Structure 1
């Protein structure tokens, strides 16, 4: 089945929010404690807040069989802010298809460098795409320390 990558539509926000929360609460457990996960993706879900965030970030969205299965965001200065795929569709090329589309768009925009703050989960994926670690980060959220890595890739 072909993965379709497209621009965000306002009606996508709830499904993308669910992908974000489901991914963190199900998949991140192998690397993060429940307390850390609760700080990263607190419950209950604030859907209106995420609607606003997605309208500002305008993610690239992945569809498989007319179902939303992942998304990535890119800022004007080349930061990949969010990169998530649905747990039920991981290891199926969703993130790779999204990333390839994002990199193509980055080159069209004339960006020279892409950056990302990658979690334990995302770090191997971005390394495979040619990103290198520039530093390890410790982010404090309400007494919990979340670890991620700043990574970058220079586009030729």
Structure 2
């Protein structure tokens, strides 16, 4: 994959096993900082606890299509595609919000899905990420109440159908 650069000089590349510690750090810090306007403290703590499931994260790197955005040798964001058509994770570092990183990552994921002849992309999206996904052409199929470590949270099942 050739590395795309934008105004941010972000390099988009495939995620590797060695990226995991930095990805996990970014995951928890982003939830803490970026999502706090949409979820309460208990919800944030429950959500962040997902970082403790090492096996799940190893599986992400092993089984999913993972792309990371790197700026000045730091991971600025990452996105993962599971089973060819499900966006499992999309997180951008709090210091790199609103700089087009999520869009760059998303376009790489969409390109991969289209290469694999997928007809649509799906994602379970937080309140925080919903406006971004809508901007990318997704629509809400249903509002969901999910239990994370016994804590109730709201998210959205969203879909984007490709016109082929």
Describe the superposition over 1:11-42 as per-residue Cα deviations: whole angstroms up to 9, x where unpaired. 10000111100000111110111001111112
* 1:50 CA drift (Å): 5.8
Is residue 26 from structure 1 mapped to residue 28 from structure 2 by the alignment? no
CA contact (8 A) 1:22 1:87 kept: yes
**1:2 Cα deviation from its structure 2 partner:** 1.9
Q: Unmatched 5+ residue regions in structure 2?
A: 1-7
Equivalent pair of 1:13/1:50 in contact (CA under 8 Å): no
Structure 2 counterpart of 1:88: 95
Residue 54 (structure 1) shift: 3.4
Task: Decide which of 105, 110, 115 is 2:117's aligned counterpart.
Answer: 110
TM-score, with structure 2 as normaliser: 0.88
Hey, what's the Cα distance between the residues in 1 that align with 2:52 and 2:150?
Answer: 21
Q: Which runs of 4+ in 1 moved over 6 A?
A: none
1:67 aligns with 2:74: yes
Residues 13 and 54 in structure 1, CA contact (< 8 A), matched pair in contact too: no
Give TM-score scaled by structure 1 length.
0.92
RMSD, aligned α-carbons:
1.7
Alpha-carbon offset, residue 135 of structure 1 = 0.1
- State the secondary structure of the residue aligned to 2:147: strand
Q: Any idea what SS the aligned residue of 2:35 has? A: helix
Q: Structure 1, unaligned stretches of length 5 or more?
A: none
Q: Secondary structure at the match of 1:70?
A: strand
Cα distance, 1:144 vs structure 2 = 1.5
